[in-house]
């Protein structure tokens, strides 16, 4: 009997305007997928790329972190100067998400990736936490190592995330100055920071669509609950392959 094929997990890369000749992706996203038993496929944001053809060749989608989403993507005006915004990446990832949702493809959004899911579903963003919300929590510290815990979040009972991690509280790392504001249609909040900032969202009507504001890829070596997110998106991809 032949061994089941591992699923192909697409991971979006960034195109940083400071280095226009490079596509960028941290190695820990790739290693998180490999450790979970998937085959990583790096997706470079490219104008004019046939999104349907891309999604037809992968079994799940992981949206990586990166720069700000241009407020024009959600009909807003810039209250601050967006950091490392790139309209090409915005357009690419928003279209990926909309079509992936139509296909009910397993989808995991990390940091910026969670924000992309929210915008794709009609939501909007807090453009700068420090300017728009007073909080005792430092959500973005550029000097903090990526595997250093920043604060705790509460996982809401009854959510898919709670069913996965089986904990009411987890400690997370944190590197973001933007956050979910108005929640997108059909999404629900699944985790909150102690300052009530949204830390995780999910789509309760679909099998696996989840976004988290922290960076589990940088904590996968610690095991659950961080590796759990990569394990689950890979498991769901395998399930759909053999459905």
Catalytic, 217? Answer yes
Helix (H, G, I), strand (E, B) or coil at 39: strand
Of 111, 139, 151, 176, the active-site residue reads 111
Which secondary structure element, helix H or strand E, spans residue 238, and what is its range?
helix 226-241
Say which DSSP state 209 is in. E
Q: Which residues contact 2 (CB under 8 A, 6 or more apart)?
A: none
Cα separation of 40 and 201, whole Å?
A: 24
Please report which residue ranges of 67-209 form alpha helices under DSSP H.
Answer: 87-103, 112-120, 129-132, 160-165
Cα 183 to the center of its chain, rounded Å: 15
Closest CA to 172 of 157, 155, 190, 153: 153
Of 93, 199, 217, 232, the active-site residue reads 217
Catalytic, 111? Answer yes
Catalytic, 186? Answer no
Cα 63 to the center of its chain, rounded Å: 5
Of 203, 215, 220, 232, the active-site residue reads 215
Which secondary structure element, helix H or strand E, spans residue 151, and what is its range?
strand 151-155
- For residues 187 and 161, the answer to whether their CB atoms sit within 8 Å is no
Give the residue numbers annotated as catalytic, written as ranges: 111, 215, 217
């Amino acid at each position: 009997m032949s061994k089941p094929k591992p699923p192909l997990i697409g991971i979006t890369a960034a195109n940083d305007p400071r280095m226009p000749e490079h596509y960028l992706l941290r190695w820990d996203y790739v290693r998180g997928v490999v450790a979970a038993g998937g085959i990583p496929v790096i997706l470079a944001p490219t104008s004019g790329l046939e999104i349907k053809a891309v999604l037809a060749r992968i079994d799940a989608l992981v949206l990586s972190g990166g720069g700000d989403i241009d407020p024009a993507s959600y009909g807003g005006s810039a209250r601050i100067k967006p950091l490392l915004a790139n309209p090409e990446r915005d357009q690419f990832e928003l279209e990926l998400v909309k079509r992936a949702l139509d296909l009910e493809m397993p989808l995991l959004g990390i940091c910026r990736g969670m924000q992309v899911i929210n915008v794709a579903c009609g939501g909007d963003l807090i453009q700068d936490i420090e300017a728009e919300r007073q909080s005792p929590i430092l959500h973005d510290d550029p000097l903090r190592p990526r595997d250093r815990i920043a604060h705790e979040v509460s996982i809401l009972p009854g959510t898919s995330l709670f069913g996965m991690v089986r904990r009411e509280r987890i400690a997370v790392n944190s590197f973001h100055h933007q956050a979910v504001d108005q929640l997108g249609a059909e999404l629900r909040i699944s985790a909150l920071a102690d300052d009530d900032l949204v830390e995780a969202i999910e789509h309760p009507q679909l099998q696996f669509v989840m976004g988290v504001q922290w960076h589990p890829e940088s904590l996968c070596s610690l095991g659950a609950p961080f590796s759990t997110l990569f394990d689950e998106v890979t498991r769901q991809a395998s399930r759909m392959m053999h459905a």
